[in-house]
Structure 1
Amino acid sequence: MKIGICLPTETEAMGGNTANGTEVLRLARLAEDAGFDSAWVVDHFCYSAAAEMEALGATAPPDLVGKIYGAWECLTMCAALARETRHMEIGTLVINTGYRNPALLARMSETIDELSAGRFILGVGAGDFFTEHDTFGYPWERRVSRFEEALQIIRPMLAGEHVTFDGEFYSTQGAVNLPRGPRPDGLPLLIGVLGRGPRMKRLVAQYADQWNCWMGSGDSHASAYIKIRDDMLAACEEHGRDPESLVRHVTPRISPTGVAPTSPDMNPLSGTAEEIAEALHAFKDLGVNHISAWPHPNNEEGIVALARVLEHFRS
């Protein structure tokens, strides 16, 4: 099982501080030198966490009210990571396809794969924060329908096909990825699914090489993953996909230093390095292929502590 790390590209994500570009790249090199297999970045423009919580019927803590969060643009950051790292995979977790023309997204991804010598993983999703859609002027309604059309363009373009598509939201006329990057069959496509809606699971079964299950906002333990995994594998069988062909990717929050999470809803993996390594083995035993850990705190201290977990996991 591969183990990667999510980099702190969001505001206040680096142990309460905001990492500048130089710091993000330095932490990526630190993680690569420590033996992590991959580095991941999120895709957010700017959003109100308080408004998002209230829309779900929750009461936002007073310190979140009026606060706006954002992140460094993820594809630009991945291009820099491609040149600053040597061996680790680089991925987006995940890009909202509604923010970028899908044909252009496929073209940009191919370029990053070229710059990284075949180490890029394109992670995509339908988007989850209505406030940043509103702020930047992107439509929030029918985003899963838009996502499905985007996949019908992105997937074949990554495979090198000429794509002509006339949809309700997007259209192309012979769009093709030229020049081609280093992988003849194209770079891998990952789809992230937060909920358990049948439509999104169908899209994973039909289009994804890899599936990401984000667990960083709630219970990060393997026991909470079992039902989600079983539902996804059942969806694969329902739609004629061999479940074993789907690379399974999980993002847990891990607190290797014992620092308490910012939300009471978060239940990260914690304890000694040996105990956390054992918790990661539980995911491996459930068939997980790739962990993209969100360290808490997400700074040098957290990465160094998580590297000790990595040593125990591989020993």
Structure 2
Amino acid sequence: MDFNIHLSMDLYDKTYGGDRLYADMLEQAVLADKLGYRSVSVTEHHLLELGVMPAPLMAAVKIAAHTRNVDILTGVVVLPLHDMRTYAGEVVLADIFTEGRLVLGVGRGAFAYEMERLGIPMAESRERFDESLDVLKALLADEEVSWDGKYYKFKPLTVMPRPVRAGGPRMMMAVLRPEAIYHCAKRGFHIMTNPLTGDATHFKEQVDAFRRGKAELGEAGKDLTLAVSRAAFIATSDAHSRAKLEQAQDHYSRFDNVFTGPGIVDRGMARALPRKQTIDELARNLLIGSSAEMVDRLAPFAELGVDIVSLTINFGASQQEVLETIQCIAEEVMPHFTVSNSETALSA
């Protein structure tokens, strides 16, 4: 099982500044590269302090310029927000500038607040995503493409430059429902998922769905990988763990507001709202504790056959704390699970 760091992109205090936030993000990527992590990831969000990343392809190119080995995942870019006729060319260029280390993670969008203010009603996002994905894949695979769909209608055109590798960069799909995981894996996508509530039965269903889809591809699916996202932090004491859980609870009170809640945002800052989930229930869903506890909590992931665990470390911590946790995981957790990168790299 390999490890990914989901880089810091949350701006809890506007006065901290985007310049410092992205300097922190780059420092984390450089450290992860040095310590042998398989990949780092950024995700697309607009108009909010949660995941402040309006240009993930641009960030991927910047990260690639300062690292040597890590893959760079866009986990995820929101396809309905882009015109695939121009975005396909941006993807090709980013793949070239990252020298093939780009993994294009794609999704439909998660926050109704940002989607609807950018003109995409959440009720349409699934349908728009499905067509956008089909258009993007066609534009990357074929030289002459025309389209007559619901959201795209255009005469024959060719995206330039052409992809370096057939069909463009590796692609990863962010999906939660087991049946959707199965269908996406069967289409040849790497998968990123999240158990969310920590329900072991549901998690196993997600993994089994991936395996079924991968198996149906036969030899063509042998290199597909399953990544699972979890929030994590190495704590030095029970009191430290509790403090980090309280930070996480505050973070998710903002996240829930725009993910499932009313979407109350004050000048770009999502308002913290009361949560139904208690802090003790949250603790069961997060990987917060000593390095030994994290090893124990991750063991079922490896036993089920998860290929990559993607760790979100910063949900309110300082940059120094984040760097220390990245280092500690590399030194005290990863050796229990990892093999050489050459054996586990995401393949074309």
TM-score class normalised by the smaller sequence: 0.7 to 0.9
- Percent identity over the alignment is 24
Which residue is 1:140 aligned to? 122
Which residue is 2:225 aligned to? 247
Which residue is 2:52 aligned to? 71
Q: For 1:203-258, what per-residue CA distance to the aligned partner results, in whole angstroms no more than 9, with x for missing partners?
A: 5145442011124x532x86652122224445677xx6457564211112222223
Runs (5+) with no aligned partner, structure 1: 48-67
Quick one: distance in 2 between partners of 1:233 and 1:142?
Answer: 30
Secondary structure of 2:99 counterpart = coil
Which residue is 2:287 aligned to? 269
Quick one: distance in 2 between partners of 1:185 and 1:177?
Answer: 12
Q: Select which of 282, 300, 310 maps to 2:334.
A: 310
Structure 2 counterpart of 1:227, one-letter code? E
Query: Shift of the alpha carbon at 1:277?
Result: 2.9
TM-score by length of 2: 0.72
Quick one: distance in 2 between partners of 1:21 and 1:211?
Answer: 26
Count of aligned positions: 287
Judge conservation of contact 1:43–1:92 (CA < 8 Å) in 2. yes
TM-score by length of 1: 0.79
- Cα RMSD (Å): 3.0
Matches within 5 A, 1:115-264: 115-184=97-166, 186-196=168-178, 198=179, 200-201=180-181, 204-205=184-185, 207-215=187-195, 217-219=196-198, 225-234=203-212, 241-242=217-218, 246-257=224-235, 258=241, 259-260=244-245, 261-262=248-249, 263=252, 264=279
> Structure 1 residues 146 and 185 mapped into 2: Cα distance closer, same or farther (>3 Å)?
closer
Quick one: distance in 2 between partners of 1:284 and 1:128?
Answer: 28
> Structure 1 residues 231 and 206 mapped into 2: Cα distance closer, same or farther (>3 Å)?
closer
Query: Shift of the alpha carbon at 1:189?
Result: 1.1
Structure 2 counterpart of 1:12, one-letter code? Y
Query: Shift of the alpha carbon at 1:186?
Result: 2.8
Judge conservation of contact 1:46–1:70 (CA < 8 Å) in 2. no
Which residue is 2:343 aligned to? none
Quick one: distance in 1 between partners of 2:93 and 2:172?
Answer: 17
Quick one: distance in 2 between partners of 1:205 and 1:164?
Answer: 26
> Structure 1 residues 142 and 232 mapped into 2: Cα distance closer, same or farther (>3 Å)?
farther
Secondary structure of 1:142 counterpart = helix
Runs (5+) with no aligned partner, structure 2: 236-240, 253-278, 340-348
> Structure 1 residues 223 and 32 mapped into 2: Cα distance closer, same or farther (>3 Å)?
farther
Judge conservation of contact 2:88–2:136 (CA < 8 Å) in 1. yes
1:22 aligns with 2:23: yes
Secondary structure of 2:122 counterpart = coil
Considering fraction of residues, name the structure with more helix. Answer: 2
Query: Shift of the alpha carbon at 1:122?
Result: 0.5
Query: Shift of the alpha carbon at 1:118?
Result: 0.5
Query: Shift of the alpha carbon at 1:170?
Result: 1.6
Deviates more, 1:141-150 or 1:272-281: 272-281
Q: For 1:78-119, what per-residue CA distance to the aligned partner results, in whole angstroms no more than 9, with x for missing partners?
A: 121121211110011111111111232222111111011100
